[in-house]
Amino acid sequence: DGGITQSPKYLFRKEGQNVTLSCEQNLNHDAMYWYRQDPGQGLRLIYYSQIVNDFQKGDIAEGYSVSREKKESFPLTVTSAQKNPTAFYLCASSIADKPFYEQYFGPGTRLTVT
């Protein structure tokens, strides 16, 4: 079964710690994305990658970092510099980074920082 996996489903961290969220896809998609979802605010783009070894900042990249060393993997690190990291994080992928291609989403990781 092709799809996107995100792990873990729930993640708890203490303030001041960095944490890495995993995202893996076996759809052979070139483009991958990270979104943050907060209640009543829709989804906001954090980072995206059009191709391996390349990525760009989205609308709310401050306090986050990513890497794209493999086509199938796009991990997101939430650093201690992110002021309000508690949120639901969604990873997505697309055949290519073109507006007429739909994005496929993973099941999400809920991060709670206390």
Partner 1 sequence: AQSVTQLGSHVSVSEGALVLLRCNYSSSVPPYLFWYVQYPNQGLQLLLKYTSAATLVKGINGFEAEFKKSETSFHLTKPSAHMSDAAEYFCAVSVYYNQGGKLIFGQGTELSVKP
Residues in region 59-78 near partner 1 by CB under 8 A = none
Distance of alpha carbon 88 from the chain centroid: 10
CB 63 within 8 A of CB 17: no
Q: Dihedral of CA 58/110/94/51: which sign?
A: positive
Stretch that binds partner 1, among 14-22, 62-70, 75-83, 98-106 (CB under 8 A): 98-106
Q: Does 40 bind partner 1 (CB under 8 A)?
A: yes
Chosen residue from 41, 83, 84, 114 binding partner 1 by CB under 8 A: 41
Q: Is 45 in the site for partner 1 (CB under 8 A)?
A: yes
- CB-based contact 88:109 (threshold 8 Å): yes
List interacting residues with partner 1 (CB under 8 A).
4, 6, 31, 33, 40-43, 45, 48, 50, 56, 88, 90, 92, 94, 96-108, 110
